[in-house]
Amino acid sequence: MKFYQLVTVSTLTLFMAACGGGSGSSDSSTTPSTTTPTTPSTSTPSTTTPTTPSSGAPTFKIVTHSDAGFTATNRKIVVFGIPVYAYADVEDTKLTHAANIMAQYLDNNEDGVVDNPTLLAAMKANKAALYLWKTEAQQGTINAQDLGADETVPAWHTNGQRGRFDAALEEVWHVVTHSGYAKAYPTIFGETAGTSLTNAMDIARGGNFTTIPNPYPANAWYTYNDQTCNYECMAAEYIYWSMSSILGAQKNRLSEIQQEWKLNTRALVETTDTEVFSLLTDAQYAFPTVLPDGTYRSNSNSTAVDPAVSQFGIFKVLNSGTTVEMKGEISSNSLTNFNNLLANYPDIKRIEIISSEGSFDDETNLQLSKLVHDRRINIHLRDNGLIASGAVDFFLAGIKRTIGTNTKIGVHSWSDGTNQASDYPRGHANHLPYIEYYKSVGFTQKQAEDFYYFTINAASTHDIHYMTPDEIQRYGLLSTQ
């Protein structure tokens, strides 16, 4: 057994070497997923009738309509009261994908409840809507935000964020910000001059410009140059570039976008555009923290939580019946406890970690982590939370991995009682189980090796290294989808 005592706490913790990452759909994947094209829908929409949830969570049922102003389209999906329309020749898969993106922006933790009711109320009051078109003749024919079916690319998310970009991420976001945030918080996110958002934008552009400067100041990092885009349009594009970069959508696209936007990663926004980063990570506004991928998973028909049967060792089922709270170290009983939990609450989609300093049982930790990954459960480290040692391995099993504010992620070397991991040469058989585990939850060989060897050299067995924000980004601990 491998034990470790953190210098700041009294609990002995057994650990695996803290591990390294990248999202399950890695950029360097050699076998990208493929999407089989579907036949465009005709004027008769899908007739599948999902069960209507009592909580109001979207079912993504496609229905016909005769809504005023949208009669050129033939069907729609309603997402938390926001309609997403489509022309007859738009594929059902594209309509459904756009609706899922909308749902994930509005209910980012996918618990069936909108994250910001004030935002949703503003969107409804301002008649927010989106429509999908197939041919250029259909574009711009309706007074609402539009999205091209052919630029809606679900495969971008499964292909490691490579290939043609999924424009649904941008156009759906414009609906949320223009009809929502700008109206719900006009002095903060309004698109006219003098709001908190546009003041930050003026800094990013190198000055307050009502027309496109030629050239932009040398110190500008937001240099959008579309002459048809007025100041308000510039603000809408600015909040898109900022938010999408914070969420990880632009990390592979710098060469494509740098003529307009230079801060293509969360770290660059955080360190360079401090004003907008502060706005878009302010918890009171409930901005998304995970990039939508078109796979909204809420199930509002989940099993009701019985308070008498909600605690399973270090795991506690919360009232939603889809979220688990975790506090404590992983032990030999944790796998059994979690299986019992799933037997009672099969719709678990999210684990929120309060703190976990490691594991007392390497084998159980590996099996539990693989189970969580195979069940496609998301993991979030709460505000002021801490994970270390084997708990970092567990965290990396999450399909979507996010952290709150003021969190700590601690890594170090393992010991077999005689030697530390770093005493063995690179490529030694003793390193392989950890590297193979990281690969089993979606990391590439290079990602697994890079982070694994970083952790075992970051601190000795009897010490701990808390990762910096740059290291967290560099080794891909947080998901980008």
Mean pLDDT of 72-83: 96
Do 186 and 240 share a domain, yes or no? Answer: yes
Mean pLDDT of 313-339: 90
Q: Which domain holds residue 18?
A: 3-29+301-474
Reported as a single tens digit per residue, the pLDDT across 398-450 is 999 999 999 999 999 988 778 999 999 999 999 999 999 998 888 889 999 99
Do 255 and 307 share a domain, yes or no? Answer: no
Residue at 363 is within a domain: yes
Question: Strand 3-5 vs strand 145-148: parallel, antiparallel, or unpaired?
Answer: unpaired
* Distance separating alpha carbons of residues 325 and 341, to the nearest angstrom: 12
Higher pLDDT, 18 or 412: 412
| pLDDT above 70 coverage of the chain, percent | 85
Do 315 and 270 share a domain, yes or no? Answer: no
Asked which of 285, 314, 344 is the last residue of a domain, the reply is 285
Mean pLDDT of 52-77: 84
Do 203 and 326 share a domain, yes or no? Answer: no
Candidates 162, 354, 153; CA nearest to 253 is: 162
Do 161 and 261 share a domain, yes or no? Answer: yes
Residue 1 has pLDDT above 50, yes or no: no
Do 452 and 421 share a domain, yes or no? Answer: yes
Reported as a single tens digit per residue, the pLDDT across 20-57 is 333 232 233 333 333 333 333 333 444 333 333 333 68
Reported as a single tens digit per residue, the pLDDT across 163-183 is 999 999 999 999 999 999 999
Strand-pairing partners, residue 465, are 411
Do 337 and 372 share a domain, yes or no? Answer: yes
Residue 410, classed as helix, strand or coil, is strand
Residue at 132 is within a domain: yes
pTM assigned to the model: 0.59
* Distance separating alpha carbons of residues 327 and 314, to the nearest angstrom: 5
Strands (E), 95-139: 130-133
Asked which of 252, 285, 318 is the last residue of a domain, the reply is 285
Residue at 480 is within a domain: no
Mean pLDDT of 343-362: 90
H/E stretch holding 155: helix 155-158
Question: Strand 82-86 vs strand 130-133: parallel, antiparallel, or unpaired?
Answer: parallel
* Distance separating alpha carbons of residues 37 and 256, to the nearest angstrom: 26
| pLDDT above 90 coverage of the chain, percent | 71
* Distance separating alpha carbons of residues 288 and 119, to the nearest angstrom: 12
Name the amino acid, one letter, at 209: F
Higher pLDDT, 243 or 7: 243
Looking at residue 4, what is its pLDDT?
33
Do 146 and 253 share a domain, yes or no? Answer: yes
Residue 232 has pLDDT above 70, yes or no: yes
Strand-pairing partners, residue 420, are 415
Looking at residue 45, what is its pLDDT?
44
Residue 154 binned pLDDT confidence (cut-offs 50, 70, 90): very high
Residue 312 binned pLDDT confidence (cut-offs 50, 70, 90): very high
Residue at 212 is within a domain: yes
Residue at 194 is within a domain: yes
- Residue by residue, DSSP assigns 274-342 as HHHHHHHT-GGG---SS---S-----TTPPPP-GGG-EETTEEE-TTSSEEEEES-B-TTHHHHHHHHH
Do 203 and 137 share a domain, yes or no? Answer: yes
Residue 307 binned pLDDT confidence (cut-offs 50, 70, 90): low
Residue 19 has pLDDT above 50, yes or no: no
Mean pLDDT of 241-255: 94
Residue 439: CATH number of its domain? 3.90.226
Residue 15 binned pLDDT confidence (cut-offs 50, 70, 90): very low
Could you tell me the two tokens for 321?
A: 């019946």
Asked which of 285, 319, 348 is the last residue of a domain, the reply is 285
Candidates 280, 345, 285; CA nearest to 315 is: 345
Distances (CA, A) of 57 to 40, 50, 268: 27, 12, 35
Looking at residue 277, what is its pLDDT?
96
Do 204 and 328 share a domain, yes or no? Answer: no
Residue at 61 is within a domain: no
Residue at 379 is within a domain: yes
Do 369 and 408 share a domain, yes or no? Answer: yes
Do 129 and 19 share a domain, yes or no? Answer: no
The answer to whether the bond into 215 is cis (omega within 30° of 0) is yes
Strand-pairing partners, residue 78, are 83
Residue at 278 is within a domain: yes
For the chain, how many structural domains are there in total? 2
Looking at residue 28, what is its pLDDT?
30
Strands (E), 122-257: 130-133, 145-148
Q: What is the mean pLDDT of the chain?
A: 85
